Structure 1
């Protein structure tokens, strides 16, 4: 054993001497996390597919009087009920959105995500999506991958300063594997989850993303885009300057739709939270209401498989077959072959109805407690908006020559994702990779940027930032918030606490101020356990009435509402407490409330600036 440790130390020293960082071991570890997460992602994809086959291929084929309409309500309601019961017996009080869960764990629990959370999310999400719930796989798969990275890091006793990177490796590998999008997987994690583009974080996450994608390719035996885009869409396409106006309008519409989606989802969550029912029943009720939308869709004349070989309504589940059909130019032609992957009659009414029902259906599914993400619904809404906008232009005779609604559907996908998540870079890279189509990248970029701008004018925060704000977490700038989350109270030199007791005379505070040059005092009991603080501004206010000081005791000046600080607490949380209570110092205590010292705002900021300078 000792010989093995010596060999490891020698290898570590030799690598550092050769110019490698002392954290070189994170790179092979990232490869392991990426490979294992790639296996999990393919397993999850198979689970979602199997769940869909069970609900619509087995249960959905049962025949009885009125079965076609009844099953549209029964299947999503049954899926919701199963999800609610699983969450209840797993000891949870509701299903949480995946990505905000991961960010919260990084901010408050140093990235510690139990493996059980990933397993629970895998099961509940596959049931939600498979039974027709209007949600996507990206939120659940990121939770699954993040829990893998966190679990491996904990098993190997990786330091807390690297836990964030390991969680990011799992999230990036999962995103890359499920979407076959290694570049977008990296950027999504850096832009949305970690908000850290430093080189020490970037390299391991790239490695994990590559290995996750490669393993998924090996298991599936293929390397294909998620959505097939016929060559006719881009074979002769070239972005021309006279098309700019069309894409500007589409970008504005995508921004407005993204803002409407955020507002609707927030309103839906508020309404569901106000309903006085057991939480585990709500997903079933949400599924039933989604099914009633399906019944309405059927009664409006769209019940005979609008998309060939795809039996559920177009707004059920993740909508991938519908998106693929919308990216096929033949779907928009009046006469085309009745073949898989084509919409039988892509009328403007069908696209508008799909968009509206997808928005409402997603709010019902996620708002009621169903498990899933918002990116897949955003992709479908963007595709219907883009395709519908181009059809209107076509009817008005202003569609650019050689243009097709399929191209605008592609740009709309990026626009709505960017508007909902405020991530334009991720949006156009994701659309580029999941379609393997470079020809339309220029209009896609333009639409994504404009959509983000419009959405931010309406909502300062993305849907993820709003969810996090509900939990008391604010997403700051990339560099400062990331560094504050990495540093803890341990990193800041503490000031010795000047302690007094509640029954001490107030005059003693004046004496201590002269002896120790302090303005804030910690009030303790006889065992040095924290009771409260006397802060400088209160003492100064008392000095205005000096005649009253001999008659007062410390307890009359003591503040009992000031929070204490634990040694392991991160600096972003501590800084927020300083701002909230407007004090210069806070007491640091151990698990028994015994005083360890005082942390001051000035020392915290000096240490932060010093560390920031060292990082360059």
Structure 2
């Protein structure tokens, strides 16, 4: 009799956890999808206005960073957003949690950062906000507190699923980056949240981010995919070290207004000369798909400069108080890196490789090297491409990039301080 009562109570608790996970998935999808739609709309609007008046760029980043600073100081308890580290601390420290105000804080700060030109993306802002939804769910019922990690991971996985329409990538992101917990309930919670998020997004908010025409890949290009993975590994370390350097540099500036003005000036100046650095850069990736080998060679110097400057402007954006991370910049830079390599191989060595393939593989490889999560990168980019034709070369390049990046510098921007 006692065992039966215990089993009933256990089943009730499991059911309650899964209901909470489903609720977390729905709320996370609403947060991610509305933030994505709003950001895309206003980013395009301000970017268009900047084309009409190019000097407007010297006002937009200043407006964005200043507004974020004011909101942070007077509305969000004057606490800086630490991005993914906040989520890692919540999972790894029993006495730490994500307060409810982190949901609007990251939501609005991520939105303001990108639409006013901050060269990052809304992915990290979304992940922290949706992880906070999971943490909030775990506090609403006493016994759910012990399942906090499960619900936090459910929230962040649901957020990634909604942003990229990539449920497998959302699932793997939770396990690769945040926790290696393998309990059945934990897995069921994450899957439940992902399913709820995916269904809501698919039926009400679905929009393909990119349109890549992928027809297959050539076996003779395999060595060059490996080469792309090696270069991506080195480049990922450049991005990571750049972010760490500028965060330290701006962290040493005592006056917040100096930090905001200096950061806005650097961001504006770089965008003035290279407009594709504006915002998250997805429109720049779409423009790349229209380039032929000949036209790409004509603008090769510009492509190289964007590749060189993107980690700097991203790092300055984050150091000056912008909200975001390296997710979108990694995809952006990977596309540029892949196109540059394919163009050089075709122009100088007449190899006839397919540029769009190298762009997609480069996106995955740089993301893998930047966050040390090759499985997430593989399935995320396959979801972006909306097919798995490049699965084998993407796997190879991602694994190579991760190994190279980890060998050179065994930390990411998420874990560096945690392991010092």
Aligned twin of 2:208: 225
Q: Tell me the residue number matched to 2:323.
A: 371
2:177 matches 1:200: no
Structure with greater proportional helix content: 2
- Write out per-residue CA displacement over residues 227-282 of structure 1, whole angstroms, 9 at most, x where no aligned residue: 2112xxx22x2341x3221111111100000011111111111111222322x552
Task: Return the offset for 1:154.
Answer: 1.0
Q: Is the 8 Å Cα contact of residues 17 and 144 (structure 2) preserved in structure 1? A: no
CA distance in 1 between counterparts of 2:129 and 2:262 reads 26
Q: Residues of 1 paired with 2:359 and 2:261: CA distance?
A: 32
1:18-417 aligned at under 5 Å gives the runs: 23-53=14-44, 55-57=46-48, 60=50, 67-68=53-54, 70-93=55-78, 95-109=80-94, 112-220=97-205, 222=206, 224-230=207-213, 234-235=214-215, 237-240=216-219, 242-278=220-256, 281-297=258-274, 313-326=275-288, 328=289, 330-334=290-294, 347-399=299-351, 401=352, 403-417=353-367
Is 1:441 matched with 2:386?
A: no
Give 5+ residue unaligned stretches, structure 1: 1-9, 298-312, 336-342, 471-616
- 1:474 aligns with none
User: Deviation at 1:380?
Assistant: 0.7
Whole-angstrom distance in 1 between the partners of 2:355 and 2:149: 42
Q: Following superposition of structure 1 onto structure 2, how do residues 566-605 of structure 1 map, counting pairs within 5 Å?
A: none
Q: 1:11 to 1:178 in 2, by over 3 A?
A: farther
For residues 445-524 of structure 1, what are the structure 2 equivalents within 5 Å? 445-469=395-419
- Matched length: 418
> Cα distance, 1:12 vs. partner?
8.3
What is the aligned partner in structure 2 of residue 426 from structure 1? 376
Measured at CA, do residues 207 and 264 of structure 1 come closer, stay the same or move farther in structure 2, by a change above 3 Å? same
Distance in 1 (alpha carbons) for counterparts of 2:158 and 2:258: 34
Q: Give the Cα separation in 1 of the matches to 2:45 and 2:348.
A: 45
Structure 2 segments unaligned to the other structure (5+ residues): none
Q: Is the contact between residue 338 and residue 358 of structure 2 (CA under 8 Å) also seen in structure 1? A: yes
Deviations 1:316-346 (A, max 9, x none): 11111122333x3x422547xxxxxxx9x87
1:32 is displaced (CA, Å) by: 1.6
Runs ≥4 residues deviating over 6 A: none
Superposed displacement of residue 94, structure 1: 5.2
Which structure has the higher relative contact order (CA within 8 Å, separation 6+)? 2
Q: Answer yes or no: is the 8 Å Cα contact 1:359–1:377 preserved in 2.
A: yes
Separation in structure 2 between the aligned mates of residue 198 and residue 444 of structure 1, nearest angstrom: 30
SS at match of 1:351: helix
Rounded to whole Å, the distance in 1 between the matches of 2:372 and 2:208 is 24
CA distance in 1, matches of 2:182, 2:258: 42
Aligned counterparts of 2:305 and 2:18: Cα–Cα separation in 1 = 48
CA distance in 2, matches of 1:284, 1:165: 41
In the alignment, which residue of structure 2 is the partner of 1:542?
Answer: none
Deviations for 1:171-214, whole angstroms, at most 9, x for unmatched residues?
Answer: 11111001111110111011102232333211210111111121
Q: Secondary structure at the match of 1:439?
A: coil
Q: TM-score, normalised by structure 2?
A: 0.92
CA distance in 2 between partners of 1:346 and 1:148 (Å): 48
Partner of 1:331, secondary structure, is coil
Q: CA deviation at 1:217?
A: 2.0
Larger Rg: 1
Contact 1:81 1:281 in 2 (8 A): no
8 Å CA contact 1:332–1:347 kept in 2: the answer is no
Q: SS in structure 1 opposite 2:277? A: coil
Cα distance change, pair 469–287 in 1 and its aligned pair in 2 (3 A): farther
1:154–1:254: structure 2 CA closer, same or farther, 3 Å change rule? same
Distance in 1 of aligned mates of 2:80 and 2:387: 36
Asked if 2 retains the 8 angstrom alpha-carbon contact of 1:129 and 1:318, the reply is: yes
Could you tell me which residue of structure 2 aligns to residue 302 of structure 1?
none
Whether the 8 Å contact between 2:217 and 2:357 is mirrored in structure 1 is no
